[in-house]
Structure 1
Amino acid sequence: MRNFRTAAVATATAATVAFGGVAVASAENTKADDGEFPALSSKIGANVDKDQQVTGHAILGEEKDKDNPRWGEIWRDGTVALDINSAIGTLIGAYNYTV
Structure 2
Amino acid sequence: FAGLPFADKSFDVVCASFVVHGFHKKFRKKMYAESSRIAKSKVIYHDYGKGLPSIPVLLIELLEMIVGGDYLNFRKNGLKEMKENFKTVIEKKINPSLSWYICEI
**Does the alignment reach a TM-score above 0.5?**
no
- TM-score, normalised to structure 1, is 0.25
Quick one: higher RCO (CA 8 Å, sep 6+), 1 or 2? 2
**Greater Rg over alpha carbons, structure:** 1
